[in-house]
């Protein structure tokens, strides 16, 4: 009897564990089946894997970050230079459509439109006789970066764990049965590559080797090698031709190593065989336990920096896909914190120093011809991937993107010169692993010159967060090169006399007045990016005390950029002329670049532009593609409207297909453009941060956009510019109760808060006055807006805030209590 109660107790404990896992897990009570977007992602920045958790036919879909079609190549169109004056004239004459036609011929590449990120294939594991399973459960533990599947067959409990080890550079799969000798399965590779060999070796390794394909006239030059090795406890391993067979084991560990010959965008002379073998030899000499703990430690070094709690409800007891279905209608703040931390998990897993930046799908792609080639769209998407990097305390993971910008500044020099006769460097709206900088797809999309300008601002932002002058000196030539390109490319507008980008564009949108062409001169986004490129270069030069004559000339040019315009509908004009349609719901709202990620548009410094930006966003509407909604969360946060931002989060956290205009989330919480595109995950993670803390516009603004549903909570570990870390921040009933800020660089900490603060020892905090003296919080004044006489300009309706100045010393932490 006693034994019965003990077993009953155990059963209850196990069931309740299975049904109420710790918060930071995605979990399900069903296998993925054939649906890739049900599978769970693991990755270490170099390798990615999607774990299906299927019982009889398990598939672990494999990616390696450098496995791309093609090889080193350039795609400039040398006809551009001769056609440039004619294209410019057509645009200045209001013949945008004709200009677009000419640009299609003379500017768009005749070569590669970008190469494809491709999968290696699947590691398939087959478990004969496991058809009748019970107690099925699978999870992705984002606190440990381990995927797990458990089930029972004939009274035996089977467990599979999968991880992509950070320190050991391999994917490891651990299989156990809780009764001896019960583990029997076989392992094989499946791959869609045409040039490949799959075989087992004399030492019983399962190997796949091949070469990626030619694409759009570029020869496939990436050779890849994958090796899987199985070590068992008990039982036997035999090797058939293309199959490893495990029989009667107690447990097995599979080590998967993958490498390519890719060294950098210009060099494919690596030895994939030696690399794959060396990672494998090192890793396979270790037990699973010896790999697991260092893996978790390496992952948690990043992950644990931010803790976030908005409270919980009973929804936490449901599988993740059920919660996703309910989210629109049921309060589930824990799904928000899970989704938030999942964004951080995805960045840690897809972007590691020394590796490739997270692409359109991070590092997870199972298609030979993925949507948009799974490459880098730099008119928004790749930048969005990195919005959480600094804010959510993952600065080191910004490195692959920053490195890509550095490489673009090398390849983009020739593009600037041969296509536009300009010095400096530039990139159009896309790039790939070969760092191609030519114009692709068609002039409607590709005739956009600001890819270099915008991406270069990430280098400056990285400096603003950390204040490392040696770093600034290192990247200064890249900023200067971006500015030099603009200095050469800008041209005087014959009517307005402003200096404008021509041909310019407002990405992928087109007003009816331009006959459906996206090309124009002096579009708002082009002006805003030029303004930022000049301003950051001038400030960097001043900090580094160099290039005074050059910065003087940039200052003169900056003054001549077109100001922002408020149009007849009260909107922020997207184009130089007032031709916006208030019923336009296009996903790109590029002219709000000035509101976020830039902070040229401010509630306090430019209230009329702030109101106009709000009107524009209301015109554009909410529901759109995933990334567009992700951007909108950031914008509504900057507009200090937490409830509206939350409406967007609800649309984003809806199962795919719920909103007819698109967008939504897959069962594995991947964002849906649709199809899967990871930028929406990262954009939303950034946006949630912006709702809680903003460091822009001259201050560290706490709780700028708290929605009514998050009245109590706490978050710790967010980074602000100027080396501040909001170590902890707690709030109740929408008011701050406790704030702890660590200053790493010293300097004035200007805090903006929704309620009054006092110091921890009950002393008054100094009220702010004048300009923030902190060098990292300087804003260059934008020109006064040109406002249409028809515009009904309402002043922004802002909540009251409190503004404090706290002198800080490097290394000290400052604690405040809410009043
Ligand atoms: C841009 C967007 C599309 C898509 C693609 C990858 O072209 O307009 O919506 O996100 O990038």
Q: What is the CATH number of the domain that holds 262?
A: 2.70.98.50
Note whether residue 640 is domain-resident: no
In the numeric block, which tokens belong to residue 807?
């002198």
| Binding site membership of 625 for ligand 1 (Cβ less than 6 Å) | yes
Structure tokens at 434: 């070969």
Residue at 368 is within a domain = no
Name the residue with the closest Cα to ligand 1, atom 7: 377
User: What's the CA-to-centroid distance between 107 and ligand 1, angstroms?
Assistant: 20
Which atom of ligand 1 is the closest one to the Cα of 371? Answer: 6
Helix 469-489 / helix 399-420 crossing angle, nearest 10 deg: 30
Name 73's Cβ contacts closer than 8 Å, sequence gap at least 6: 111, 112, 115, 218, 434, 436
Check pocket membership of 508 for ligand 1, CB cut-off 6 A.
Answer: yes
Write phi, then psi, for 356 (nearest 5 degrees): -80, 150
CA pair distance 159, 155, nearest whole angstrom: 13
Q: Whose alpha carbon is nearest atom 11 of ligand 1?
A: 377
Contacts (Cβ under 8 Å, ≥6 apart) of 278: none
**CB of 377 closer than 6 angstroms to any ligand 1 atom:** yes
| pLDDT for residue 662 | 73
Tell me, yes or no, whether 326 lies in a domain. no
- Give domain status of residue 534, yes or no: no
Q: How many Cα atoms are found within 13 Å in the side-chain-facing hemisphere of 113? A: 13
Kindly state whether residue 235 falls inside one of the protein's structural domains: yes
381 CA from centroid of ligand 1 (Å): 7
Q: What is the pLDDT of residues 539-551, one digit of tens each?
A: 999 999 999 999 9
Q: What is the pTM of this model?
A: 0.96
Output the CA 454–ligand 1 centroid distance in Å.
16
| CA distances, 291 to each of 22, 226, 253, 300 (Å) | 23, 19, 11, 14
Q: Does the CB atom of residue 673 touch ligand 1 within 6 A? A: yes
- For the Cβ of 360 lying below 6 angstroms from any atom of ligand 1, the answer is yes
Q: Alpha-carbon distance 111 to 109, whole Å?
A: 5
Backbone conformation region of residue 135, classed left if phi is above 0, alpha if psi is from -120 to 50, else beta: left
Alpha-carbon torsion angle 509, 510, 511, 516, nearest 10: -150
pLDDT at 184: 98
Cross-strand partners of 137 = 150
Instruction: Establish if 152 belongs to a structural domain.
Output: yes
Rounded distance between C-alpha atoms, residue 784 and residue 562, angstroms: 10
Ligand 1 in contact with 589 (CB < 6 A)?
Answer: no
Cβ 803 vs Cβ 751: under 8 Å: yes
Q: How far apart (Å, rounded) are the C-alpha atoms in residues 275 and 469?
A: 36
Ligand 1: residue of 385, 447, 624, 627 to mutate (most ligand atoms within 8 A of CB) is: 627
The end-to-end CA distance of the chain, in Å, is 59
| Residue 233 structural domain | 22-69+121-304
Which atom belonging to ligand 1 lies closest to the Cα atom of 625?
9
| 627 touches ligand 1 (CB under 6 Å) | yes
Q: How far is the CA of 455 from the centre of ligand 1 (A)?
A: 16
- In-domain check, residue 173: yes
* Residue whose CB lies within 8 A of the most ligand 1 atoms, among 371, 372, 430, for a mutation test: 372
Compute the radius of gyration of the chain from its Cα atoms: 27
Ligand 1 atom closest to Cα of residue 360: 6
- Gap between the Cα atoms of 485 and 454, Å rounded: 13
Nearest CA to ligand 1 atom 1: 377
Among 360, 362, 371, 377, which residue has the most ligand 1 atoms within 8 Å of its CB, making it the best to mutate?
A: 377
| C-alpha 664 – ligand 1 centre gap (Å) | 15
142 in a structural domain? yes
381 lines ligand 1 (CB under 6 A): yes
Spacing, Cα 562 to ligand 1 middle (Å): 27
Whether a cis peptide bond, with omega within 30° of 0, leads into 565 is no
Contact indicator for 646, 632 with CB cutoff of 8 Å: no
> What pairing do the DSSP bridges indicate for beta strands 718-720 and 786-787?
unpaired
Q: CA 690, CA 705: separation in Å to the nearest integer? A: 8
Q: Whose CA is nearest to atom 8 of ligand 1?
A: 508
Instruction: Decide: helix, strand or coil at residue 544.
Output: helix
Residue 291 pLDDT: 98
- 3-state SS, one letter per residue, for 758-780: EECCCCECCECCCCCCCHHHCCC
Residue 387, ligand 1, Cβ within 6 A: no
Residue pair 433/117 in contact by the 8 Å Cβ criterion: yes
How many angstroms does the Cα of residue 674 sit away from the middle of ligand 1?
10
| 373 Cβ closer than 6 Å to some ligand 1 atom | no
Three-state secondary structure call for residue 30: coil
**Where are the alpha helices (H) located in 421-447, listed in sequence order?**
443-446
Residue 567 is classified by DSSP as -
Collapsing DSSP to helix, strand or coil, 643 comes out as helix
Question: Based on the structure, what is the number of domains in the chain?
Answer: 1
CA of 448 to the centre of ligand 1 (A): 14
Task: Show the CA angle centred on residue 334, arms to residues 328 and 338, nearest 5°.
Answer: 100
Closest ligand 1 atom to 445 CA: 7
Choose the residue to mutate in 677, 680, 682 for probing ligand 1, maximizing ligand atoms within 8 Å of C-beta: 677
- Look up residue 173 and give its two tokens: 């799969």
507 and 441 Cβ atoms separated by less than 8 Å: no
Tokens matching residue 777: 């919080």
Q: Which residues of the chain have pLDDT under 50?
A: 1-22
What is the whole-number distance in angstroms between the Cα of residue 663 and the centre of ligand 1? 12
For residues 649 and 632, give the distance between their C-alpha atoms in angstroms, rounded to a whole number.
9
Query: Could you report the per-residue pLDDT of 243-291, keeping only the tens digit for each?
Result: 999 999 999 999 999 999 999 999 999 999 999 999 999 999 999 999 9
Q: Which atom of ligand 1 is nearest to the CA of 588?
A: 8
428 touches ligand 1 (CB under 6 Å): no
């Amino acid at each position: 009897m006693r034994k019965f109660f003990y077993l009953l107790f155990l059963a209850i404990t196990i069931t309740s564990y299975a049904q109420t896992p710790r918060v930071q897990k995605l979990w399900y009570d069903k296998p993925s089946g054939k649906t890739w977007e049900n599978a769970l992602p693991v990755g270490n920045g170099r390798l990615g894997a999607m774990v299906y958790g299927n019982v009889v036919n398990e598939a672990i879909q494999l990616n390696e970050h450098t496995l791309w079609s093609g090889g080193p190549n350039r795609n400039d169109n040398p006809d551009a230079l001769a056609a440039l004056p004619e294209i410019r004239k057509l645009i200045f004459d209001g013949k945008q459509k004709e200009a677009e036609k000419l640009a299609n011929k003379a500017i768009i590449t005749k070569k590669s439109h970008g190469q494809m990120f491709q999968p290696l294939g699947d590691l398939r594991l087959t478990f004969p006789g496991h058809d009748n399973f019970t107690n099925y459960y699978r999870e992705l533990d984002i606190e440990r970066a381990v995927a797990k599947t458990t089930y029972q067959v004939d009274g035996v409990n089977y467990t599979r764990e999968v991880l992509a080890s950070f320190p050991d550079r391999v994917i490891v799969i651990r299989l156990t049965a809780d009764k001896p000798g019960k583990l029997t399965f076989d392992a094989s590779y499946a791959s869609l590559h045409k040039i490949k060999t799959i075989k087992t070796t004399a030492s019983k390794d399962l190997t796949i080797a091949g070469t990626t394909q030619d694409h759009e006239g570029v020869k496939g030059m990436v050779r890849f090698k994958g090796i899987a090795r199985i070590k068992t406890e008990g039982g036997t391993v035999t090797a058939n031709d293309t199959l490893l067979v495990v029989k009667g084991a107690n447990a097995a560990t599979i080590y998967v190593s993958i490498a390519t010959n890719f060294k950098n965008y210009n060099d494919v002379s690596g030895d994939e065989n030696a690399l794959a073998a060396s990672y494998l030899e090192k890793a396979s000499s270790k037990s699973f336990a010896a790999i697991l703990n260092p893996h978790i430690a390496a992952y948690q070094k990043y992950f644990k920096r931010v803790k976030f709690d908005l409270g919980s409800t009973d929804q936490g007891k449901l599988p993740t896909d059920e919660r996703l279905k309910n989210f629109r209608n049921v309060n589930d703040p824990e799904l928000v914190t899970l989704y938030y931390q999942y964004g951080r998990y995805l960045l840690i897993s897809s972007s590691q120093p020394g590796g490739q930046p997270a692409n359109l799908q991070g590092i997870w792609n199972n298609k030979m011809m993925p949507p948009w080639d799974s490459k880098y769209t730099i008119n928004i998407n790749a930048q969005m991937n990195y919005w959480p990097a600094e804010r959510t305390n993952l600065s080191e993971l910004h490195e692959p993107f920053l490195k890509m910008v550095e490489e673009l500044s090398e390849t983009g020099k020739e593009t600037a010169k041969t296509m536009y006769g300009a010095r400096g460097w530039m990139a159009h709206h896309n790039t790939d692993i070969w760092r191609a900088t030519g114009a692709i797809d068609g002039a409607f999309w590709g005739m956009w010159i600001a890819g270099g300008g915008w991406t270069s601002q990430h280098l400056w932002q990285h400096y603003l967060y950390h204040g490392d002058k040696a770093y600034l000196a290192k990247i200064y030539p890249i900023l200067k090169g971006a500015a030099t390109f603009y200095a050469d490319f800008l041209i005087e507008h014959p009517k307005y006399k402003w200096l404008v980008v021509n041909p310019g564009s407002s990405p992928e949108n087109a007003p009816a007045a331009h006959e459906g062409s996206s090309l124009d001169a002096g579009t708002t986004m082009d002006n805003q990016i030029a303004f930022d490129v000049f301003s950051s270069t001038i400030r960097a030069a001043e900090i580094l005390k160099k290039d005074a004559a050059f910065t003087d000339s940039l200052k003169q040019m900056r003054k001549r950029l077109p100001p922002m315009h408020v149009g007849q509908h009260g909107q922020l004009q997207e184009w130089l002329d007032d031709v916006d349609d208030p019923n336009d719901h296009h996903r790109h709202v590029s002219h709000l670049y000035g509101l976020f990620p830039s902070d040229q548009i401010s509630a306090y410094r430019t209230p009329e532009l702030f109101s106009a930006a709000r009107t524009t966003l209301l015109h554009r509407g909410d529901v759109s593609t995933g990334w567009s909604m992700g951007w909108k969360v950031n914008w509504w946060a900057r507009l200090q409207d937490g409830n509206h931002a939350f409406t967007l989060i609800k649309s984003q956290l809806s199962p795919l297909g719920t909103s007819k205009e698109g967008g939504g989330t897959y069962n594995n919480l991947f964002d849906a453009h649709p199809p899967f595109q990871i930028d929406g995950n990262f954009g939303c993670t950034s946006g949630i941060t912006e709702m809680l803390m903003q460091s822009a516009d001259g201050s560290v603004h706490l709780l700028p956009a708290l929605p009514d549903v998050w009245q109590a909570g706490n978050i710790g570990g967010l980074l602000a510019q100027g080396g501040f870390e909001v170590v902890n921040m707690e709030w109740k009933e929408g008011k701050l109760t406790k704030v702890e800020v660590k200053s790493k660089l010293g300097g004035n900490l200007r805090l903006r808060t929704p309620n009054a603060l006092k110091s921890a020892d009950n002393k008054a905090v100094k009220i702010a006055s004048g300009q923030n003296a902190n060098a990292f919080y300087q804003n260059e004044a934008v020109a006064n807006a040109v406002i249409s006489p028809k515009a009904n300009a309402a002043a922004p309706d802002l909540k009251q805030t409190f503004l404090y100045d706290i002198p800080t010393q490097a290394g000290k932490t400052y604690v405040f209590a809410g009043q």
